[in-house]
Structure 1
Amino acid sequence: MRNKTIRQKLRPFSLLTASMALACAASGAQAASDPASPAAQDSSSTTTGSSTRTDTSVQDAYTHDSDHSHDLTHVTASPMNVLHESIGLSRMPQDAMHTPQNVNVVPQILMQQQNVKSLDEALKNVPGITASVGEGEGGMAGDQFLIRGFAAQNDIYENGLRDFGVYTRDSFYYDHVSVIKGPSSEVFGNGTTGGAINIVTKTPHLGNSYQASFSGGSGSYYRGTLDVNYQLNSTTAFRLTGMGNENNVVGRDYIYSHRWGIAPSLAFGLGKKVSFVLEYFHQNDNRIPDYGVPVVYSSANAIGRPVTEYGVKRTNWYGTTYDQDDSSTDMITGRLTAKVNPILTLYNDMRGGIFHRYFSASQEACSNFSSGATLTNNTINGVAPSSTCQSDFFSSNPAAAQVARNGGVGGPEPYRQSDWSIQDVFSGVAHLKTGRIRHEIIGGFDIEYVTDHRQNYAYGSNRPGTSLLDPSPYVPGLTLGNCSQYPNRLVNIGNGVGRKCYKDSDALDVGFFLSDQVWLTDYLSVKAGFRWDNWNSHYSATGGSTATPDVHYGQNETTINPSVSIMYTPRSNLMVYFNWSESTTPLSLYVTNSSEPLNAKSASAAPERSRLYEVGTKYSAFHDRIGFTAALFRLEKNNSVQTDPSTGDISATSDQERNQGLELSASGTLLPNWMFYGTYALYDPTITKAGSTTSKQGGQIQYVPHNQATAWTSYEIAPRKPWNMTIGGGITWRQGVWLDQANTARVPATVEFDAMVSHHFADHWKVAMNAYNLDNRLNYGSLFSNRVTPSIGRSFLFNISAQY
């Protein structure tokens, strides 16, 4: 009834706006544009980045380039000032400066100086982002981020199209990374409670360029990358980026990653009114999953802490030789841009993807039951090795402590995953006038279908426990079988589903979006928009044990997510804004990366609903040399979803959560040759209503720190001289956080000092050295309610590169 009322209210607005756009386009209405301001003209005098481009685009109402169809090199006075970076998708055509939300951009030059090798490393520069380990038996792993404390594992995009796979993303083909904070369902569709991560890739440009690099260092680290751009004719170019990477992890036993990737792309119509970019991406990764170390409690009323805080070696890994995470990802993308006339530009972005994965992990458990108690599914000949793990560890004989590796109910058994997805987004951006009123109208539709098929496997017996202090990965005699061999040893899916062999999920999302930014005066504008979505999903669990019947569930949700912004722009380099927006997250949204998307209890659950209030300002100062941002926000979420750390069951609760705070950033060139990039976040994350027994009324939302900051600076000594040198360094700080909604377990603060030094020689060559975690502090990167993963120890990476 509520959605019907909203649609009735929005119908006249959408019909009127669409009619005005068509009428004005047909009559050749005058495109909205202003003369370029002196600041804007000055900012275009310097070209930065790895390449240049021919720019024939029109200027929009803010006197900056609004055409980001290729997202190559951006014209700014400082490559570290990110305010004039594009967001990287057609339906958000403005740059970070003129987008009425807090947007953190990780620029190319910062990733180069830090020798960033993955999406996770790039996002260390963004406050409010943490990583989680995985969910119960589902063993999600891969890139699992939270933004402002809210799950964003389904909110990773590449050039505005969803990247649906569950894998660790390498950064070898990144141009820059944008993080759009706050609910963005009006743009992206369902999800995006805390925000969205958009990766902008390297694509072909006019002119030839060649770049190659090789890195080696601590932890048997070897890495090579290639980036070649070749102009085929006056409007066509080809680009090829590639990567090979092999490394262990300093400070963790047995953990390694062997991966390679390739990303060729072809661009037609460069500099023309109609252009098309065709991209292909493949990444293959064979790694060992790291579920970290358990959280333990020294007494009944103590706060849980990682066992490594009590002297257990940070290198301890509690997996087995059977553990493996082998993934293969293929995506092909086509992006069409057509400038119909000075008023209207049309875009069509399409992607198809295939994702395969074999995953097997051991989930450690260090329990504290009374003597003689047993732990379900972790018993070995009637003995539960972890039942007295904690009491043994804190006794006079800590060496007696034994960790179980089967996890919770059933434990994380292996599975094979095969997914595919297709998405098409058609959009149009119109700049026009109705009388004296200027408009920027954005509208279009978004269709996505994704499917997931999993086949579960089972071990013939329980994995035996191992020593908490001195674990061993070797398990002699353990056998792995298929569904028919060990049907009663399959993962016991909760809520009456039972032990099933196959899990199949699929979902179809059809969305329509429309927004209109209206300039009431030259300096004051209002933007209002909405997105309508129909989400139709299905889930089934079949085969395996006959003790429980096969099940089939489904959800069909129709949602409307509005957004309203007010922007005051007295100058092109200054904006003050207010934003109100909403987002919706159906429980079945996580098709490819959730352990159990639906069950009998949750199939009829209402979706999460989030609401954002944000006021902020953005200022590009000193002729665009330094960019400043400040944002005050309040983010509210109802019907919060929780995951049981033992069973992996996902359930809707009546919890209400609120995170509010202040986010600041400054980036650019402070003085000649001196660059700086810094961010700070102050959060007040509160559980305003505890609707479940596992949440604490008035407690702090899990994983969200009160304070978080990053800083990076570099200085170039004697540039263009034979004795030139660039030195730099930075700090990443995150205050300690609670690991559960009950606020009974906590992880200490993260403090990491990094540094770099580099030297250019022979015009085109560079040597560099990066140092990470210089004081070898015991930090924790990936977090979950009952376990955490220690971060990399002190390490060094040497690099030599050539660019022509």
Structure 2
Amino acid sequence: MGYIRNHKKRTQLAAASIISLSSPWVFADGDTKVQKVEQLDKITFVAEQQESYYVKESQNAKMTAPLLDTARTVNIISKKEIDERAATSLQDILRTTPGITLGSGEGGTPMGDRPFIRGYEASTDILIDGMRDYARGSHESFNLEAVEVSKGPGSVYSGRGSTGGTINLVTKKPKNKTESEVTSEYQNSGKGHAKYRFTTDNNVAINDNIAVRLNAMLDQGEVARRDNVETDRWGVAPSITFGMNGPTRLTAGYSRLEFNDTPDMGIPFSNASNPDRKTPIESMPFETNFGRPDIDYRNYTSEIFSLNFEHDFNDALKLRIAAQDLQTIQEYFFTRLSFGCVASSGTACQTEGPGLTYNRANRQSYRTSHVNAAQADLQAQFKTGSIAHDLITGIDYSKERIGTRSGAAVGAGSETVDFYNPTQKNYSGFHIPWGAWTNEGEIEAKGIYVFDTISLLPKLDVNLGLRFDDYKSASSSDSVSENMFNYQAGIVYKLTENGRIYANYATSMNPTGDNLGQAGGADGAASGAALNDLDPEKSKSIEIGTKWELFDGDLALNAAIFETKKTDARSYDAEGILSNDGDNRVRGVELSSTGQITPAWNLSAGYVYLDPEILDYKSGAKAENMKGKQMKFIANHSANLWTTYALTDKFKFGGGATYVGKRFVDDVNTYYLPDHIRYDAFAQYQVIPEFGLQFNINNITNERIYDASHVGVFSTIAPGRSFAVKGTYRF
């Protein structure tokens, strides 16, 4: 384990050096420093209070209208809300977003962010500035301006997949204002689990045309209320914009993120010898680590180069060209937990009393991904007679390559351990001799699309979108190609200046191999892990809703009812042969409110009801039919509330609650994760105009929250109660 710990020390030193050098005066001369002093009076807490959680327009260029006039549900979580909630990762953000639940990776399915949106997996439907991140990795918040969740089938926007929706991560870009922010945070669980986090965000307007920005982060320590579960992460993200205030702009960016964590797979779950217990056993303390923290590790690196070119021919005609190169490396070893008891093991397995044992098994993986992507958009505003158009047409291209290295751990193997006294062995000889790199396959996609918001009448808009994809997926032994058409049609009626009703119909497709190298057998029939001679899975959705902006447009109220149906889903026929005979559907209701009630009072709230049903799906060697069962990993009910109030110009307080209902974790609906409710609290005090303090208590009641389960074998556990204080200095 020494090689891992030494590597962690090197990354700590590197990240600390980056943060210490990231102050704006690295880029500035004496005159620029004088300018900063003159700006100090402008940075006040009162100005910050006037910011709303409500973001009115998506940064996705393909959405040609403001959210009020967009005929679908789009949730945007702003930087302001992310910061106030002390969310440091995409998982933190999604845990408190209604309608989204989390899944767990293992070996075949890699570890990383695995969200389900409106009942359908979206782990490969995560976009960074509008372009797909295929890595199935992990994402941090330090370089994010917002997280945009577009719900419902969205192949017309992003290509294949996107059955339940997409998640677009909007990264920070240079601004035409010199300002800096440095934060230092200390977190403690109250039981000795401490964590430190430092971030810096520096923007320097060198002149009227050039600006540079540098974001950096260091995050180290233990996860709250989880023994020997550690995070050791750092990141850096510089960017530069030329032509800041002109008609032609070029932004170049780079981001590097490294994790050197000790992972935690939670607790063994299902026990065939005790079929009466349907939920995880909770007879051991919350903090118990059932794995092998001395050897469990996860090293993850993500590196992104991006270019964004924009040219305004005039106010009505604009061109945008973007390119991105994204590479990731993920190497991990973790302890797979399971009971694996059988009747012959004795009465302890049946009673789960003293003498109960569980199994520790090895899971290791080494994966690389490399994505090259580019897209070009031309936006035009014009009229045909009295009808106004806001048109975007464009093309995009992506090539995604997945590689692996095989390896088997030396010095650690399967173990049978006392559940009530999980001891550790000596693993001094532990190491993994990884083999040569192997190309698992690649996916190449070319797309052409057109979107138009048509103002047919003063009170009637039509949103139209059409996309064609030329898709190819190839492994070392097989290949598949598809030509796919997807579309959407929406209508928006303007009841009043600030109120709308809308209807939307949209489609998506999942061709075989769309998750090539990124899914395992436990993910369902075909699961995208291999190529098969099958038609694409097809999805269609209808959504009807209403949107309102109140209080001078600062508060958004949204309501929607919807149904998404997937036909031609991969399943097994009566003889156990893979086929397109499956069907499922999700019906639901979503209510949300985001923004300011008054300049001092901010609100973010939502409720989602989902009814996910398997209409026809056969699983396993016997092709057992799961018709009528509920789709796994999905909660029927979920809700969130986050609200803050500025009592004075200097003091603000608030808090919230998040509810997630019961979730089945297997196809036959035998085992489930119980519902939970999490309470959080927040306070902020501006000591002086430049310096403020923030206090957070997350998971106040120390609720035992199960993030996800690997089909009932084990269940991962979210952090417990934590107390955090953060200092923020702006200059």
State if a TM-score over 0.5 links the two structures: yes
Q: Displacement, 1:557? A: 1.9
| 2:354 alignment partner, SS class | helix
Q: Deviations over 1:365-413 (max 9, x none)?
A: 2123231xxxxxxxxxxxxxxxx49x52443x7332222222xxxx63x
Q: Does 1:169 align with 2:139?
A: yes
Whole-Å separation in 2 of the counterparts to 1:601 and 1:712: 42
Match of 1:758 in 2: 684
| 1:126 alignment partner, SS class | coil
Match of 1:569 in 2: 494
1:301–1:465: structure 2 CA closer, same or farther, 3 Å change rule? closer
| 1:91 alignment partner, SS class | coil
- Picking from 202, 217, 230, the partner of 1:243 is 217
Query: Is contact 2:163-2:539 (8 Å) kept?
Result: yes
Q: Displacement, 1:221? A: 0.6
Whole-Å separation in 2 of the counterparts to 1:312 and 1:270: 55
Q: Does 1:94 align with 2:65?
A: yes
- Superposed, which structure 2 residues align to 1:328-727 within 5 Å? 328-371=301-344, 388=345, 392-395=348-351, 398-406=353-361, 412=363, 414-460=364-410, 462-474=413-425, 476=427, 480=431, 482=433, 502=438, 504-540=440-476, 552-591=477-516, 593-595=518-520, 603-640=532-569, 654-692=581-619, 693=623, 696-719=626-649, 724-727=650-653
Match of 2:655 in 1: 729
Q: Name stretches of at least 5 consecutive residues in structure 2 with no aligned partner.
A: 1-39
1:77–1:522: structure 2 CA closer, same or farther, 3 Å change rule? farther
Q: Displacement, 1:158? A: 1.4
Whole-Å separation in 2 of the counterparts to 1:288 and 1:174: 24
Q: Displacement, 1:574? A: 2.3
Query: Is contact 2:520-2:527 (8 Å) kept?
Result: no
Match of 1:211 in 2: 181
Q: Deviations over 1:638-671 (max 9, x none)?
A: 244589xxxxxx9776332111111011122223
| 1:361 alignment partner, SS class | strand
Q: Deviations over 1:769-799 (max 9, x none)?
A: 1001111111111333112112211110111
Q: Aligned AA for 2:391?
A: I
Q: Displacement, 1:587? A: 3.0
Match of 1:155 in 2: 125
| 1:305 alignment partner, SS class | coil
Q: Aligned AA for 1:609?
A: K
Whole-Å separation in 2 of the counterparts to 1:674 and 1:532: 45
Q: Aligned AA for 1:176?
A: A
Query: Is contact 1:82-1:96 (8 Å) kept?
Result: no
Give aligned pairs, total: 672
Q: What's the RMSD between the two structures over aligned residues?
A: 2.8
Match of 1:145 in 2: 115
Q: Displacement, 1:312? A: 6.3
Q: Displacement, 1:747? A: 0.7
Whole-Å separation in 2 of the counterparts to 1:456 and 1:215: 39
Match of 1:380 in 2: none
Match of 1:35 in 2: none
Whole-Å separation in 1 of the counterparts to 2:651 and 2:559: 33
Q: Displacement, 1:76? A: 13
- Picking from 666, 675, 678, the partner of 1:740 is 666
Q: Which moved more, 1:240-249 or 1:552-561?
A: 552-561
Query: Is contact 1:77-1:624 (8 Å) kept?
Result: no
1:567–1:256: structure 2 CA closer, same or farther, 3 Å change rule? same
Q: Aligned AA for 2:440?
A: D
Q: Displacement, 1:244? A: 0.5
Q: Displacement, 1:254? A: 2.0
Q: Displacement, 1:275? A: 1.3
Larger strand percent: 2
1:481–1:171: structure 2 CA closer, same or farther, 3 Å change rule? closer
Match of 2:79 in 1: 108
1:478–1:370: structure 2 CA closer, same or farther, 3 Å change rule? farther
Whole-Å separation in 2 of the counterparts to 1:745 and 1:421: 37
Q: Deviations over 1:407-462 (max 9, x none)?
A: xxxx63x2322321110011111111111222122211110001111011013573
Query: Is contact 2:513-2:529 (8 Å) kept?
Result: no
Query: Is contact 2:515-2:528 (8 Å) kept?
Result: no
Query: Is contact 1:565-1:579 (8 Å) kept?
Result: yes
Whole-Å separation in 1 of the counterparts to 2:417 and 2:634: 32
1:800–1:154: structure 2 CA closer, same or farther, 3 Å change rule? same
Q: Which moved more, 1:222-231 or 1:427-436?
A: 427-436
Whole-Å separation in 2 of the counterparts to 1:442 and 1:338: 14
Whole-Å separation in 2 of the counterparts to 1:367 and 1:694: 22
Aligned-residue identity in percent: 24
1:476–1:623: structure 2 CA closer, same or farther, 3 Å change rule? closer
| 1:121 alignment partner, SS class | helix
- Picking from 673, 698, 704, the partner of 1:772 is 698
Q: Aligned AA for 2:695?
A: M
Q: Does 1:284 align with 2:234?
A: no
Q: Does 1:133 align with 2:83?
A: no
1:123–1:435: structure 2 CA closer, same or farther, 3 Å change rule? same
Q: Displacement, 1:600? A: 10
Query: Is contact 2:479-2:531 (8 Å) kept?
Result: no
1:770–1:466: structure 2 CA closer, same or farther, 3 Å change rule? same
Whole-Å separation in 2 of the counterparts to 1:438 and 1:121: 42
Q: Displacement, 1:626? A: 1.4
1:299–1:417: structure 2 CA closer, same or farther, 3 Å change rule? closer
1:566–1:705: structure 2 CA closer, same or farther, 3 Å change rule? same
1:600–1:799: structure 2 CA closer, same or farther, 3 Å change rule? closer
1:652–1:744: structure 2 CA closer, same or farther, 3 Å change rule? farther
Whole-Å separation in 2 of the counterparts to 1:708 and 1:254: 31
Whole-Å separation in 2 of the counterparts to 1:340 and 1:672: 38
1:474–1:142: structure 2 CA closer, same or farther, 3 Å change rule? farther
Q: Displacement, 1:94? A: 2.8
TM-score of the two chains, using structure 1 as the length reference: 0.79
Whole-Å separation in 1 of the counterparts to 2:665 and 2:720: 22
- Picking from 197, 204, 207, the partner of 2:167 is 197
Q: Displacement, 1:78? A: 5.9
1:125–1:600: structure 2 CA closer, same or farther, 3 Å change rule? closer
Q: Name stretches of at least 5 consecutive residues in structure 1 with no aligned partner.
A: 1-49, 53-74, 372-387, 485-499, 541-551, 644-649
| 2:63 alignment partner, SS class | coil
Query: Is contact 2:509-2:536 (8 Å) kept?
Result: yes
Whole-Å separation in 1 of the counterparts to 2:630 and 2:287: 27
Whole-Å separation in 2 of the counterparts to 1:775 and 1:535: 49
Query: Is contact 1:453-1:505 (8 Å) kept?
Result: yes
Q: Displacement, 1:156? A: 0.8
Q: Deviations over 1:97-142 (max 9, x none)?
A: 222110111112211211221111122332111111114x225111
